[in-house]
Amino acid sequence: MGTTTFGQYIKDKRAERNLSRSEMARRVGITPQYAMGIERGQVIPTEDKIERLVEVLEANEKTAFKLADKIPTRIFEEAKANYFNKA
């Protein structure tokens, strides 16, 4: 069994919610073609689109961002502030 990709994770979560790709795309604010690109691993969406996907699909945010190989800006800013503001 292979490693789950971001696209496969999104596709699986969409299936769990019984959503068509078109309906998911509509709720997220992307085109069905863009959604297909995500699921096929051709596209890694922007942070705001990942957040919308997580919300719409009730997915795990940490898992989604890890699979997308991204760190949410707010987490990065917190870490940066904590790291650089220590004496």
Q: How many domains does the chain have?
A: 1
User: Is residue 69 in a domain?
Assistant: yes
Domain that holds residue 21: 6-84
pTM of the model: 0.86
Residue 33 domain flag = yes
Mean pLDDT of 39-62: 97
Neighbouring CB atoms inside 10 A of 70's CB total 17
* CA–centroid distance for 62 within its chain: 9
CA-wise closest residue to 69 among 17, 1, 3, 25: 3
Residue 1 lies in a domain: no
Do residues 54 and 62 make contact, with C-beta atoms less than 8 angstroms apart? no
Tell me the CATH number at 74.
1.10.260.40
pLDDT tens digits for 2-36? 679 999 999 999 999 999 999 999 999 999 999 99
